[in-house]
Structure 1
């Protein structure tokens, strides 16, 4: 890199971090999760708002590959955190209730998304028709676990029974979405001479469980900094392994987060510091690919259909599953509103699909807007159910120690 490129890269990173923080705060002041403002920053940096020439001056082509590296590191840290926050204890409490609601909350939007993909297939380019259909179904069905946790925290619901149920269901739905995405990647990237590499995923998972995890258990319990170093280094190494295998690097980071022992303290302030520096670059890199100028009338119709399918599928699927398990109408509606949040998880999945050419740039743009709209809807819909005010009044009650109970 030349001195000029280093200077421009540093200036761009400073601008990105400040704007992401600023827009995130504005979003929070408006009752929205910070990720809504951060995604907006990315879209504003793209050709939809800024003229292409202006964007090229602020983010010149010679520094964009380096921004993509920073973005990749940010996503790796995010995926490690997502795996680490996958609390398996949540899945054991009220297992029948959790599995039933999760099944309906994922399967209905997935099927509707696949049906919509068949309709959209003729208008969009893809390297794999089967991959396109499965990918769109998975992308429409996802629930953003980290965003959901933040919304629950802000509304005093994180430790309540409904909040814990929402977290458990979103964890399962996210896990299924990653599995479907892995299948799509296997379909798209599998070449005859490289297919054997996919078999290495089995020993990788076994190694994480039976070799790496016991080694991590030996980390000193009083040194969170050492755990942070192990977390970042391990996530990058596992990401490199899954990328070489033929899957995406996000899976390696996620698997390492799942395998990381919960008994070892991780300096989450350090993790957040890494995220604050690197993750905003991901929003900008992703946002620069969003171009809504050339959508046209048919594109607006596609956008309306995508949003309608995503919202109706997730709300109706979750509500039906909850009512089948005899939850009240209010709690069922609130749970449905919570499961409609997509946020950063959706953007990560869409970016993978675009990089693999499973979806094209116009559809990517529409799906990013859908993610922004559905995430923005979550808090207002939740307030309409009246559950948030009830939860805030009961915030001082020690409900966090109670397991999820199935309605009788």
Structure 2
């Protein structure tokens, strides 16, 4: 097993990062290449084209180890996302950003829930029950509502929009939007019960509220004293904080939720440096670790993608879902931005940026699959929807953006998107730059 695990790990790391590099060379986010590599190394492609090689590279015995690597990477990545979350970026555009966030959540959410009810027969053909539970319907809405903040931040930066009004509005709105989506997703998972939940949902809700209260009121002051009043070595501090995130993830998973919620909560309660700044000595290794190990998550996600199970119904549902996902996001975001005072070009830019799903969508889909809210064929459809919407973001942005000119007023100096500090070698290692 050790031999197979080491060989599979070498292949996963090299193939995923090489594919990510190639995707970036083609003008696409890193995640597109990594997700494509994960699907290619799965049973649908490698397993179909070379079954003996696939069975030798990925025997069932190493499945738990690969899943463990994937879950560890998710915890570290989302811990960093929670730590970086700062709604102070809203600034003078708070009302516009909140309006955009609300509209880009409500419209896709309604479309997703309505689509699940209207097309229940088609979904039944994809392995879903004929009578969908409320949690399944809500999850369908969440799947269309999510925007990936990391990949959005990367696209904003790489297109020179970091200091622009549409860039700031899109990133800040996406931050608020994802906070709402995670909350609704947590409620759906609570209602579904999860595979390991042993308590009824009222007890789980009460325990979850109590845990959040303890984390905010007790853990945060303790961490502030520990981090600010001691001269702890960076390596020891990193180890303690990752252990804290893993412990928080263990608690939320025990409550019938997913590890992602505990990791996010742990990152949110960790205090920043005095003055509200991020600690670069903490962020850099977090990004390095998550960037290195997230390919295991893409491969584990690719193991559940069943291309051979995609029939005419599957491709039709994929087309409908992708069209809904793109049009509802772009339409609601653009209209809300226009109502917030942006001109039509900037408003379209905001709408297009919000249509990117990326890694955040895959994390939510993985949680839904584990909780039994998705069948494997529908999971496959939604994974390809996430890939398609991410691929379409850059071309659509080039079509809708207005080139900057000397007659355009300079954006306010404070309207900037925070970017993680550069890593050694001069390359950025924020989540969006490497993993999307």
TM-score (norm 2): 0.86
Equivalent pair of 1:156/1:391 in contact (CA under 8 Å): no
Which residue number in structure 2 is paired with residue 7 of structure 1?
Answer: 3
Note if 1:401 corresponds to 2:404: no
CA distance in 1, matches of 2:359, 2:387: 9
Does structure 1 retain, via aligned residues, the 8 Å contact 2:39–2:45?
yes
Change (3 A) 1:56 1:403: closer
Mind listing any 5+ residue stretches in structure 2 that lack a counterpart? 418-436
Q: Give the distance between the partners of 2:242 and 2:207, measured in 1 at CA.
A: 22
CA distance in 2, matches of 1:393, 1:214: 50
Identify the residue that residue 254 of structure 2 maps to in structure 1.
Answer: 244
Equivalent residues of 1:157, 1:392 under 8 A apart: no
Matched residue, 1:32: 28
In structure 2, the partner of 1:359 is: 374
Equivalent in the alignment of 1:203: 210
Q: Distance in 1 between matches of 2:14 and 2:182?
A: 31
C-alpha distance in 1 between matches for 2:301 and 2:415: 41
User: How much does 1:402 deviate?
Assistant: 4.0
Q: Which residue of 2 aligns with 1:390?
A: 404
Deviation, 1:197, is: 3.3
- 1:86 aligns with 85
How do 1:305-320 residues align onto structure 2 when only pairs under 5 Å count? 305-320=320-335
Give the count of matched residue pairs.
398
1:150 deviation in Å? 1.0
For 1:332 and 1:234, the matched residues in 2 are separated by 41
- In 1, the alpha carbon distance for the partners of 2:241 and 2:405 equals 34
Say whether the 8 Å CA contact 2:41–2:299 is kept in structure 1: yes
Q: Is the 8 A contact 2:67 2:300 kept in 1?
A: yes
Identify the range of structure 1 (307-316 vs 113-122) with the bigger mean alpha-carbon deviation.
113-122
How high is the TM-score relative to the length of structure 1? Answer: 0.91
* 8 Å CA contact retained: 1:80, 1:235: yes
Q: How does 1:148-159 map to 2 (within 5 A)?
A: 148-159=152-163
Higher deviation after alignment, 199-208 or 28-37: 199-208
Tell me, yes or no, if structure 1 residue 375 matches structure 2 residue 375.
no
| Match for residue 170 of structure 2 among 156, 166, 169 | 166
Q: Which has the larger displacement, 118-127 or 314-323?
A: 118-127
Alpha-carbon distance in structure 2 between the residues aligned to 1:108 and 1:402:
27
Partner of residue 425, structure 2: none
Contact kept? 2:357, 2:389, Cα under 8 Å: yes
Q: How does 1:170-181 map to 2 (within 5 A)?
A: 170-181=174-185
Segment of structure 1 superposing worse, 210-219 or 25-34 = 210-219
Backbone CA RMSD of aligned residues: 2.4
- Counterpart Cα distance in 1 of 2:397 and 2:406: 13
The corresponding residue for 1:48 is 44
Which sits farther off after the overlay, 309-318 or 39-48? Answer: 39-48
- CA 140–213 in structure 1, closer or farther in 2 if over 3 Å, else same: same
Give me the whole-angstrom Cα distance separating, in 2, the residues matched to 1:305 and 1:292. 18
How far is 1:223 from its partner?
4.7
Aligned mates of 2:282, 2:340 — CA distance in 1 = 39
2:308 to 288, 293, 304: 293
Distance in 2, matches of 1:373 and 1:141, equals 15
Distance (Å, rounded) in 1 between the aligned partners of 2:232 and 2:166: 34
Q: Distance in 2 between matches of 1:189 and 1:308?
A: 31
Residue segments in structure 1 that go unaligned for 5+ positions in a row = none
SS in 2 for 1:63: helix
Deviations along 1:222-245, whole A, 9 cap, x unmatched? 854344223311110100011112
Whether 1:338 and 2:342 are equivalent positions in the alignment is: no
